[in-house]
């Protein structure tokens, strides 16, 4: 936690500002979606929960230890104020539940339950806040959104399918959601941009340091024609465990399409979360000889709710079926 900036001018002066600062501070003491903290905030409000936790009154020893470790580096309220100021400098904004822009679909994450022997193990609830960078409204983007996810080590087949599928869906008025990674995700964003459509990238780090840095030019285009979104404050590093949290946010799109994935991959995790949320989960089949199709075929074989799609028309048909 860095304290190398001044928070002057951001001292809370209202209940609304105190709530925002508290939500950001709580995101620094535990990862977004922490079930215990989320439940406490729903019951008592963010400022009261922050006071309670900073006073050492956490419900369990592991949470107390985590909070002690994260607060050892400085005042989390001051850090929150610094994060708000940094966001303002780069034209970003904080969005919280109750704001007109807050996307209601995100709240469906409250239905996910952790399982000690399953893939959903922790941090399953909705984030306390979201950071957004770009002119597109989150509330406008999410209702007509399609997530396209898949392998980083994309083949020429997967790159072509991702680009064409995203482009056609964007042309037909759908916002393309993905994670900004190399491979299928970057191809999906580029396909939407090439069609003059809208696209949204959900990051596993702060919105002031998009990852991977090799996609910097792509992220600039996304800011100009869509949104960068993150549940973490500016300055947050893209640590490995944060990608699972990011994947759950991507899965709150109106539907998810899997294009190429190895047997164990974050993309398979994302479409599994879409299935858990009862969202349309769609899979593009691939060559049976390709290692990058193993994850796709596994989902089709083991999940009765997953649908095989080969075109944008197929995707829209599945989305409309779920909506009606």
What are 157-186's pLDDT values in tens digits? 999 999 999 999 999 999 999 999 999 999
Q: Is residue 151 situated within a structural domain? A: yes
pLDDT at 117 over 50: no
SS3 of residue 239 by DSSP: coil
Give me the pLDDT at residue 60, please. 86
Average pLDDT over residues 91-106: 95
Rg over alpha carbons for the chain, rounded to the nearest Å, is 19
Q: Is residue 73 situated within a structural domain? A: yes
Give me the pLDDT at residue 229, please. 97
N- to C-terminal Cα distance for the chain?
47
CA distances to 27, 231, 315 from 109, rounded to whole Å, are 17, 13, 23
Of 89, 113, 148, the residue at which a domain comes to its end is 89
Query: For the chain, what's the residue count?
Result: 324
Give the range of the structural domain holding residue 278, as residue numbers without chain letter: 130-323
Average pLDDT over residues 196-220: 95
Does residue 192 share a domain with residue 44? Answer: no
pLDDT at 10 over 50: no
β-bridge mates for residue 92, sequence order: 133
Alpha helical stretches, state H, 30-179? 35-44, 46-54, 61-71, 76-89, 138-141, 156-171
How do the residues of the chain divide into helix, strand and coil, expressed in percent and rounded to 5?
A: 50, 10, 40
| Of 136-140, 173-177, 283-287, minimum mean pLDDT range | 136-140
Does residue 156 share a domain with residue 77? Answer: no
CA 192 vs. chain centroid, Å, equals: 18
Of 89, 119, 153, the residue at which a domain comes to its end is 89
Q: Is residue 283 situated within a structural domain? A: yes
Confidence of residue 6 (pLDDT cuts 50, 70, 90): very low
Give me the pLDDT at residue 114, please. 66
pLDDT at 12 over 50: no
CA 258 vs. chain centroid, Å, equals: 16
Does residue 191 share a domain with residue 271? Answer: yes
Angle ∠(311,108,203) on CA atoms, nearest 5: 70
Does residue 309 share a domain with residue 172? Answer: yes
Most distant pair of Cα atoms in the chain: their distance: 62
Does residue 145 share a domain with residue 65? Answer: no
pLDDT at 147 over 70: yes
Does residue 307 share a domain with residue 216? Answer: yes
Of 69, 89, 109, the residue at which a domain comes to its end is 89
pLDDT at 1 over 80: no
pLDDT at 9 over 50: no
Q: What percent of the chain stands above pLDDT 70?
A: 93
Q: Is residue 52 situated within a structural domain? A: yes
Quick one: DSSP state of residue 308? Answer: E
Average pLDDT over residues 59-81: 90
Q: Could you tell me the sign of the dihedral formed by the alpha carbons of 299, 269, 166, 282, in that order?
A: positive
CATH number of domain containing 241: 3.40.50.450
pLDDT at 146 over 90: yes
Quick one: DSSP state of residue 126? Answer: P
Q: Is residue 65 situated within a structural domain? A: yes
Q: What percent of the chain stands above pLDDT 90?
A: 80
- What's the predicted TM-score (pTM) here? 0.91
Whose structure tokens read 């079926």?
321
Does residue 167 share a domain with residue 31? Answer: no
Count of CA atoms in the C-beta half-sphere (13 A) of 15: 2
Does residue 134 share a domain with residue 83? Answer: no
Does residue 285 share a domain with residue 235? Answer: yes
Average pLDDT over residues 304-311: 96
Does residue 308 share a domain with residue 202? Answer: yes
Average pLDDT over residues 40-54: 96
Average pLDDT over residues 297-324: 94
**Cβ distance 309 to 284 under 8 Å?**
yes
Give me the pLDDT at residue 320, please. 93
CA distances to 87, 154, 173, 175, 184 from 196, rounded to whole Å, are 27, 23, 10, 11, 19
Confidence of residue 15 (pLDDT cuts 50, 70, 90): confident
Confidence of residue 119 (pLDDT cuts 50, 70, 90): very low
Q: Is residue 114 situated within a structural domain? A: no
Tens of pLDDT along 226-249? 999 999 999 999 999 999 999 999
pLDDT at 297 over 50: yes
Mean pLDDT, the chain, rounded, equals: 91
> What angle do helix axes 15-29 and 76-89 make, rounded to 10 degrees?
110
Give me the pLDDT at residue 137, please. 93
**Cβ distance 144 to 175 under 8 Å?**
yes
Q: Is residue 109 situated within a structural domain? A: no
Which contiguous run of DSSP H or E holds residue 268? helix 266-276
**Domains contained in the chain, number:** 2
Give me the pLDDT at residue 122, please. 67
Does residue 227 share a domain with residue 151? Answer: yes
Give me the pLDDT at residue 116, please. 52
Give me the pLDDT at residue 192, please. 98
Q: Is residue 29 situated within a structural domain? A: yes
Confidence of residue 2 (pLDDT cuts 50, 70, 90): very low
CA distances to 114, 257, 299 from 55, rounded to whole Å, are 27, 45, 46
Does residue 154 share a domain with residue 81? Answer: no
């Amino acid at each position: 936690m860095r304290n190398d900036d001044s928070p002057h001018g951001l001292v809370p002066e209202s209940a609304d500002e105190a709530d925002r600062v508290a939500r950001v501070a709580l995101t620094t003491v535990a990862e977004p979606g922490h079930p215990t903290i989320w439940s406490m905030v729903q019951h008592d409000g963010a400022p009261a929960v922050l006071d309670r936790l900073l006073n050492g009154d956490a419900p369990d020893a592991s949470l107390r230890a985590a909070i002690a470790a994260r607060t050892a580096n400085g005042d989390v309220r001051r850090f929150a104020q610094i994060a708000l100021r940094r966001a303002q400098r780069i034209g970003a904004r904080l969005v919280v539940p109750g704001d007109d822009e807050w996307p209601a679909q995100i709240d469906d994450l409250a239905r996910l339950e952790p399982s000690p022997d399953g893939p959903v193990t922790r941090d399953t609830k909705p984030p306390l806040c979201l950071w957004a960078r770009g002119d597109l409204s989150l509330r406008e983007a999410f209702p007509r959104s399609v997530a396209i996810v898949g392998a980083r080590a994309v083949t020429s087949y997967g790159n072509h399918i991702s680009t064409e599928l995203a482009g056609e869906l964007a042309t037909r008025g759908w916002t393309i959601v993905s994670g900004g990674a190399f491979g299928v995700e970057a191809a999906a964003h580029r396909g939407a941009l090439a069609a003059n459509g809208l696209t949204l990238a959900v990051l596993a780090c702060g919105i002031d340091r998009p990852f991977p840095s090799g996609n910097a030019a792509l992220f600039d285009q996304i800011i100009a024609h869509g949104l960068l979104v993150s549940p973490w404050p500016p300055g947050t590093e893209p640590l490995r465990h944060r990608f699972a949290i990011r994947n759950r946010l991507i899965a709150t799109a109106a539907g998810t399409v899997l294009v190429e994935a190895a047997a164990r991959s974050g993309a398979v995790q994302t479409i599994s979360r879409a299935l858990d949320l009862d969202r349309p989960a769609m899979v593009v089949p691939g060559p049976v000889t390709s290692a990058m199709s193993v994850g796709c075929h596994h989902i089709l074989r083991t999940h009765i709710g997953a649908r095989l799609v080969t075109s944008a028309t197929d995707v829209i048909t599945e989305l409309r079926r779920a909506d009606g």
